[in-house]
Amino acid sequence: MMKKNNMRAYLVSAPAMIFIGLIVIFPIIYTFFISFTNMNTYHWFNYDFVGLKNYQNALLVFDSGFLNAILYTVLWTAVNMIMQLIIAFVIASFLNIEGLKLRRLYKTLLMFPWAMPGYISILIWKTGMFNSSFGLLNQWLGTSIRWLSSDLGATICCTVVNLWLALPFMIMIMDGGLKSIDKSLYESATIDGAGCIRKAVSITIPCLKPIIGPAVVITVFTTFKTFDVIYLLTQQVGSQTGARIHTIITYTYENAFITNNYGYSSAISIIIFILLILFYEMTNRRSKLC
């Protein structure tokens, strides 16, 4: 009973649209405007238009750091997604093996990292696990290694923490997907003499794909947007650890709120937005989210 009534529909959805327009859309347009100016702390009101200079600085100046940040973000997303999908698939499959009596208990316990407030978990990891003097890792090893001080070390630590944070959601999605697969498929496969791996490749993965598709696409976006893990672990104001790793979002934040280069950071924001639109069009054409 799809009704056709434009006026009423607009009226009923207007409050939400006005809110979103003011808080989400207007700032994006305003960011677009700022990206053509030299606005910074000294030019808070009396800024000048500088044309495309900010965009040039971001894209054409090779050591601006932005291109590195893009590369890092792409690698970060790829590595994290691959590891997440594989580990979650293994754990969810094991959870669904028949005869596992404590399944519910394990599932509840495994959800804890997701239930904890994200920033608290990250700060706990930073101090409790990685701290050089009283972190658990160093306590157990009897060392005082500064895990977060090198780029590679910090990347590994950030990946571990990100996996710890993100796996429960993925396991839950995969577990739900696995439950919805018709059991008779496996029975007939067993009769035909198919082994475990053969069943996984020919039945489980193809059946799982459409069910978990949207959740995976969304997780790709979330991973691409990673800010908390990297910012809180390595570059909080006053307690930078020395590692110089940046995703595009931490890079933008640093330019906006630490070095106060508003024009430049706005230009980067717009470039990222355009990248997101392209990315979104690509995934949307494939997976038909809408």
Residues 137-166 within binding reach of other proteins (CB under 8 A): 139, 164
Window 243-282: residues binding other proteins (CB under 8 A): 249, 252-253, 256-257, 262, 265-266, 269, 272-273, 276-277, 280
Per-residue contact track with other proteins, 87 to 126, x per CB under 8 A?
----x--xx-x-xx-x---x-xxxxxxxxxxxxxx-xxxx
- We find the least distance from the C-beta atom of residue 194 to other proteins, in angstroms, to be 18
What phi and psi values does residue 49 have, to the nearest 5 degrees?
-80, 135
Least Å distance, CB 253 to other proteins, is 6
| Residue 24 or 152 with smaller CB distance to other proteins | 24
- Tell me how far apart the alpha carbons of residues 77 and 229 are, in angstroms, rounded to a whole number: 13
DSSP letter at 37?
Answer: B
Among 61, 82, 127, 141, binds other proteins (CB under 8 A): 127
User: Count of alpha carbons within 13 Å of 102, Cβ hemisphere only?
Assistant: 4
Q: Which stretch binds other proteins (CB under 8 A): 8-16, 61-69, 74-82, 196-204?
A: 8-16
Mention every residue, 6+ apart, whose C-beta is less than 8 A from residue 255.
261, 264, 265, 268
Looking at 51, 176, 206, 210, which residue binds other proteins (CB under 8 A)? 176
Q: Does residue 15 touch other proteins according to CB under 8 A? A: yes
- Tokens 């940046």 correspond to what residue? 246
289: closest CA among 215, 181, 223, 219?
Answer: 215
**Residue 138 CB, nearest distance to other proteins (Å)?**
11
Q: How far apart are CA 177 and CA 241, in angstroms?
A: 41
Taking CB under 8 A as the criterion, the residue among 59, 67, 81, 215 binding other proteins is 215
Sign of the four-CA dihedral 215, 206, 284, 35: positive
Task: Say how many residues touch other proteins, by CB under 8 A.
Answer: 93
The least distance separating other proteins from the CB of residue 184, rounded to whole angstroms, comes to: 23
Give Cα separations from 184 to 117, 180, 201 (angstroms).
41, 12, 16
Q: Hey, which residues between 24 and 53 contact other proteins (CB under 8 A)?
A: 24-28, 30-31, 34
Give min distance, CB of 154 to other proteins, in A: 14
Among residues 60, 61, 75, 289, which is the contact residue for other proteins, using CB under 8 A?
289
In whole angstroms, what is the distance from residue 167 CA to residue 161 CA? 10
Output the six-digit token pair for 230: 């990297």
